[in-house]
Amino acid sequence: METFEQHYTTMLQAIRTYAPNTDLDAVERAVRYADEKHKDQKRKDGSPYIIHPLAVAEIVAELGLDTDAIVGALLHDCIEDTTASHDEIAKLFGQSVAELVEGVTKLTRVEFSTREEQQVENLRKMFMAMSKDIRVVLIKICDRLHNQRTMEYQSKAKQISKSEETMDVYAPLAHRLGMQKIKWELEDNALQYLDPEGYHELMDYLDAHKAEAEAFMENVRKKISDKLSAVGIECEISGRIKHVYSIYRKMKEQNKTLDELYDLYAFRVIVESISDCYNVLGHIHEMFKLVPGRFKDYISTPKPNNYQSLHTTVIGEEGIPFEVQIRTREMHEIAENGIAAHWKYKEGMEAGEGKEFDWIRRLLDSQQETDAEDYLHSLKVDMFDDEVFVFSPKGKVISLPAGSTPIDFAYAIHSGVGNTMIGAKINNRIAGYDVQLHNGDVVEILTSKSAKGPSRDWLNICKSNQARSKIKQWFKKEKREENIARGKTSFEGELRRMNISPAMLQNEELLPQLLKKLSFESLDDMYAAIGYGGITAVKAIGKIREDLLKASRSEAAPKETKVLEIAQPIQQNRHGDSGVIVEDIDSCMIKFSRCCTPVPGDDIVGFITKGYGVSIHRRDCPNARAANNPDLAARWVNVSWVTSGDKPFATTLEVLAEDRDALLLDFATALTSQQIRMKEIVGKDMAGGRCQFTVTFEVKGLSQLTAVMNRLRAIEGVVEVKRGQN
Ligand code: MN
pLDDT tens profile 629-671: 777 777 788 888 887 777 888 899 999 998 887 788 888 888 8
Mean pLDDT of 348-364: 37
Q: How far is the CA of 185 from the centre of ligand 1 (A)?
A: 17
Residue 139 has phi, psi (to 5 degrees) of: -60, -45
The whole-number pLDDT of residue 111 equals: 63
Residue 173 to residues 117, 187, 248: CA-CA distances in angstroms?
Answer: 15, 12, 20
The whole-number pLDDT of residue 377 equals: 32
Q: How far is the CA of 423 from the centre of ligand 1 (A)?
A: 43
Which residue did the predictor score with more confidence, 555 or 341?
341
The whole-number pLDDT of residue 483 equals: 82
Residue 269 has phi, psi (to 5 degrees) of: -115, 120
Whole-angstrom distance, CA of residue 663 vs CA of residue 657: 9
Is 80 catalytic? The answer is yes
The whole-number pLDDT of residue 49 equals: 94
Q: How far is the CA of 47 from the centre of ligand 1 (A)?
A: 15
pLDDT at 560 over 50: no
pLDDT at 276 over 80: yes
Q: Quickly state the pLDDT bin for 14 (edges 50, 70, 90).
A: very high
Q: Quickly state the pLDDT bin for 8 (edges 50, 70, 90).
A: very high
Mean pLDDT of 24-36: 95
Among residues 28, 36, 45, 80, the one annotated as catalytic is 80
The whole-number pLDDT of residue 13 equals: 95
The whole-number pLDDT of residue 90 equals: 95
Whole-angstrom distance, CA of residue 502 vs CA of residue 523: 12
Domains and CATH numbers, the chain: 4-179 (1.10.3210.10), 202-337 (3.30.460.10), 385-477 (3.10.20.30), 479-555 (no CATH), 561-641 (no CATH), 649-723 (3.30.70.260)
Whole-angstrom distance, CA of residue 165 vs CA of residue 279: 42
What mean pLDDT value characterizes the chain?
A: 81
Q: What is the pLDDT of residues 436-453, one digit of tens each?
A: 998 777 899 999 888 888
Q: How far is the CA of 77 from the centre of ligand 1 (A)?
A: 5
The whole-number pLDDT of residue 341 equals: 65
Mean pLDDT of 479-491: 84
Which residue did the predictor score with more confidence, 317 or 199?
199
Q: Quickly state the pLDDT bin for 356 (edges 50, 70, 90).
A: very low
Q: Quickly state the pLDDT bin for 220 (edges 50, 70, 90).
A: very high
Residue 37 has phi, psi (to 5 degrees) of: -65, -40
Q: How far is the CA of 438 from the centre of ligand 1 (A)?
A: 27
The whole-number pLDDT of residue 192 equals: 95
Q: Is 23 helix (H, G, I), strand (E, B) or coil?
A: coil
Residue 226 to residues 214, 283, 487, 654: CA-CA distances in angstroms?
Answer: 18, 11, 73, 33
Mean pLDDT of 578-587: 73
Mean pLDDT of 269-282: 92
Among residues 81, 387, 525, 620, the one annotated as catalytic is 81
Whole-angstrom distance, CA of residue 247 vs CA of residue 202: 9
Which residue did the predictor score with more confidence, 31 or 135?
31
**HSE, side-chain direction, 13 A CA sphere, residue 396:** 10
pLDDT at 251 over 90: no
pTM of the model: 0.57
Annotate 590-620 with DSSP letters as a single string.
EEE-TTT---TTS-EEEEE-SSS-EEEEETT
**Residue 331 in contact with residue 339, Cβ under 8 Å?**
no
Q: What is the pLDDT of residues 333-355, one digit of tens each?
A: 878 777 666 555 444 433 333 33
Whole-angstrom distance, CA of residue 65 vs CA of residue 88: 23
Residue 578 to residues 274, 603, 617: CA-CA distances in angstroms?
Answer: 29, 16, 14
Cα-to-chain-centroid distance, residue 131: 21
Q: How far is the CA of 53 from the centre of ligand 1 (A)?
A: 7
Mean pLDDT of 49-75: 93
Mean pLDDT of 427-439: 88
Is 586 catalytic? The answer is no
Q: Is 352 left (phi over 0), alpha (psi -120 to 50) or beta?
A: left
Output 539-545 pairs: Cβ under 8 A, ≥24 positions apart.
Answer: 540/491, 541/491, 541/494, 541/495, 541/498, 543/517, 543/518, 544/514, 544/517, 544/518, 545/498
DSSP structural state of residue 629:
S
Q: Quickly state the pLDDT bin for 559 (edges 50, 70, 90).
A: very low
Calculate the dihedral angle through the C-alpha atoms of 91, 94, 97, 102, rounding to the nearest 10 degrees: 40
Q: Kindly state the greatest CA–CA separation across the chain.
A: 96
Whole-angstrom distance, CA of residue 342 vs CA of residue 372: 12
Mean pLDDT of 515-539: 85
Which residue did the predictor score with more confidence, 45 or 309?
309
pLDDT at 236 over 90: yes
| C-alpha angle 586-591-593 in degrees, rounded to nearest 5 | 135
The whole-number pLDDT of residue 1 equals: 63
Q: How far is the CA of 92 from the centre of ligand 1 (A)?
A: 21
Q: Is 50 helix (H, G, I), strand (E, B) or coil?
A: coil
Q: Is 494 helix (H, G, I), strand (E, B) or coil?
A: helix
Q: Quickly state the pLDDT bin for 222 (edges 50, 70, 90).
A: very high
Dihedral sign of CA atoms 572, 575, 580, 586 in order: positive
Q: What is the pLDDT of residues 372-405, one digit of tens each?
A: 333 333 333 444 567 787 877 776 778 888 899 9
The whole-number pLDDT of residue 360 equals: 38
pLDDT at 561 over 80: no
Which residue did the predictor score with more confidence, 321 or 256?
321
The whole-number pLDDT of residue 23 equals: 93
The whole-number pLDDT of residue 418 equals: 94
The whole-number pLDDT of residue 587 equals: 65
Output 3-12 pairs: Cβ under 8 A, ≥24 positions apart.
Answer: 3/47, 3/51, 4/35, 4/48, 4/50, 4/51, 4/54, 7/50, 7/51, 7/54, 7/55, 7/58, 8/54, 10/58, 11/54, 11/55, 11/57, 11/58, 11/61
Which residue did the predictor score with more confidence, 69 or 585?
69
Task: State what percent of residues in the chain have pLDDT above 90.
Answer: 30
Q: How far is the CA of 100 from the centre of ligand 1 (A)?
A: 13
**Residue 641 in contact with residue 582, Cβ under 8 Å?**
no
Q: How far is the CA of 107 from the centre of ligand 1 (A)?
A: 11
